[in-house]
Structure formats: structure tokens, C-alpha cells
Amino acid sequence: MRSAECVDEIIEKLAATRTAVIIVDVEIRRYGLEERVTALARKLGLPVVSTFMGRGLLEQAPDVLLGTYLGAAGDPAITEMVEEADALLLLGVIFSDTNFALSQHRLDPRRIILAFDRTVRIGHHVYTDLPIDDLIEALIGHGWPKAGAPEAIRPPCVVYRRKLPPDNEPISPSDVATAINDLFDRHGTMPMTADVGDCLFVAMEIENTALAAPGYYAGMGFGVPAGIGVAAATGRRPLILVGDGAFQMTGWELGNCRRYELDPIVVLFNNTGWEMLRAFQPESGFNDLDDWNFAAIAPHLVVMASG
């Protein structure tokens, strides 16, 4: 069977390497494969990183997940580990600018094993009609072709900032991430949703936890409705990161929280502007927004949401 041939080729390729890394992305969540990927990584002794769009995967497996690959914008240890690896096993990964535009080196296709959309590509070999869940199960059940397993690559894990100092300095987006990490240390992690812009990139500076965000299409206005959906679907209290522009679009959906007995925490980044639009068209005055004084509005929203 071609599926057995594919699995044999993957194992032989991994066994011949000194350094290999597993990269995970959206299909792992889409098909409910996080636990099986974790089992595979532990069996092979290989570290795992997520893509930008896969951020939030494997939140329950800190022993195998080392962080998120962001190329030149990410943690240098993770960037070096990925870009210098002898082999990369990409599971459910979408090749797009969102995930790989900031790569410092073009990933060599001869080093890549890509399983996506029922197709597996190993260098120039292509195996079609092979679902990713079947592939992962076959890899878990496959015997290792030589004594022992590859030594795990263990660079320093990403150290997320903690202990926000109580000073009078202006608050930066990274300060918000630090404060949330302190919150998580005291009360435990929470699932997060994020809108586009600063709040989405701040999510990369927060301890890894379940995250839903519009990373692919970058559509504005996703954060608050998504947070309500997470709360309704999971029963967990979500943390919502949203900018002022996006909040003006869909933030008022918080008014439905009382009806459905939901209680999300919302962190609103107010820079009085459409900053993502300004980056592409800085000369346009419509990117400047009034300060809506959200701090004054908040108590009324709390009454609306909680009754």
C-alpha cells in the first residue's frame, strides 16, 4: 500500500537526521489531533513548534511544544532550530505569507515533509488521498528502524515576560502581555480570542493557551463575537483582546452576554486609530478616530452584560 510506503519513507528520513522538528498548524485543531500529535512527538523524541496561524495548539503539552515560529520576528532560538534543522515534519501546515513571509531563509523543499489536505509531500515524492489522521496513527504505530530514537532538540524555551512594574511610564502593548501573564500565574490560563493589529501580535507574547484569531484573512471585528462563541461552546471564561476600531464595529455584541449568562474579560487596546490601515495608507486622515473614552463606557456595559 502507498500509505505504508509513505510512512516508511518518513521514518527513514527522520532516522537519518541529526536534527528534526515537527511544525503544527490549523488542520491539527480542525481534525482534533492535538493529543495524537503529542503522542507522536513523545515517541519520536522531537520538539514541536506552531506556526503563527497555529498559535494556541498543544496548550496541554508544554513538554513538547517549545513556542511559535515567527521567522525574523520570533524567538531567535526557535528560528535557528527550524531554519537549520535537517528535516521538518509539517503537519496540517498552510504555506502562506502569514506563516512564512518572515522566514530568514527559504525552507529547502528537500528537507520538508508536508502533510496537508489529504496529500503528503516528501521532497519531490507525492502521496495523494492520505488523510492526516491516518498518517499520524501509522507513524505512531511504526517501529523505529534503528536502536534508540533521535535525541530531542531542546533549545531554551521562550521566556514570557512577567512582573509588570508599578510605575508611571506609558503602557506599551508588551506591558499588556506582561500583565496578562501575571494574571495567568495567579488564576490559571484562559482561552483567548484576539482581533487583528497590536492585540493579535501581543497574543504571541502571552503564555501559550488556546487562541482563536483571524490570522489568515485578518478580518477586523472578529475578537468579541469569537470570545462569546468560545464561552458558549466550551463553558470556559474567555479573555478577549480587541482594538478600539474593531470594538466600534462588533464590541457591542457584549450586550448579549446577560441573555446567555456569559462573563468574558475584555482587554481593549485604545490607540484612537485604524493602525493596520494606517500602515498601508499613512496619509489618509480617516485612519484617525476619536477617543470614545471606553473606560467611562465600561460600567454601563458591565450592567448590560451582567444584569
Backbone angles phi, psi at 91, to 5 degrees: -110, 115
Domains of the chain and any CATH numbers = 2-141 (3.40.50.1220), 173-306 (3.40.50.970)
Q: Which residues make Cβ contacts (< 8 Å) with residue 18, sequence separation at least 6?
A: 86, 150
* pLDDT of 305: 62
The reported pTM is: 0.84
Q: Within 10 Å of residue 158's Cβ, how many Cβ atoms?
A: 17
| Rounded CA Rg of the chain | 21
Show pLDDT as tens, one digit a residue, over the chain (307 residues).
678 899 999 999 998 888 899 999 999 999 999 999 999 998 888 999 999 999 999 988 888 898 999 888 888 888 888 988 999 999 999 988 888 877 767 778 889 999 999 999 998 899 999 999 999 999 998 877 655 555 565 655 678 899 999 888 888 999 999 999 999 999 999 999 999 988 999 999 999 999 999 888 888 899 999 999 999 999 999 999 999 989 999 999 998 888 888 999 999 999 888 877 787 788 888 888 888 888 888 887 766 666 5
Give the cell for residue 79: 528560528
* pLDDT of 17: 87
Q: Within 10 Å of residue 112's Cβ, how many Cβ atoms?
A: 18
Q: How far apart are CA 293 and CA 195, in angstroms?
A: 20
Please name the amino acid found at residue 55: R
Distance between the two ends of the chain, CA-based, in angstroms? 61
* 3-state class percentages of the chain: helix first, strand second, coil last, to nearest 5: 45, 15, 40
Instruction: Provide the 8-state DSSP code for 54.
Output: T
Q: Within 10 Å of residue 215's Cβ, how many Cβ atoms?
A: 22
Q: How far apart are CA 224 and CA 252, in angstroms?
A: 8
β-strand 125-128 against 119-122: which pairing, if any? antiparallel
93: nearest Cα among 75, 73, 69: 69
Q: How far apart are CA 267 and CA 250, in angstroms?
A: 14
176: nearest Cα among 211, 212, 206: 206
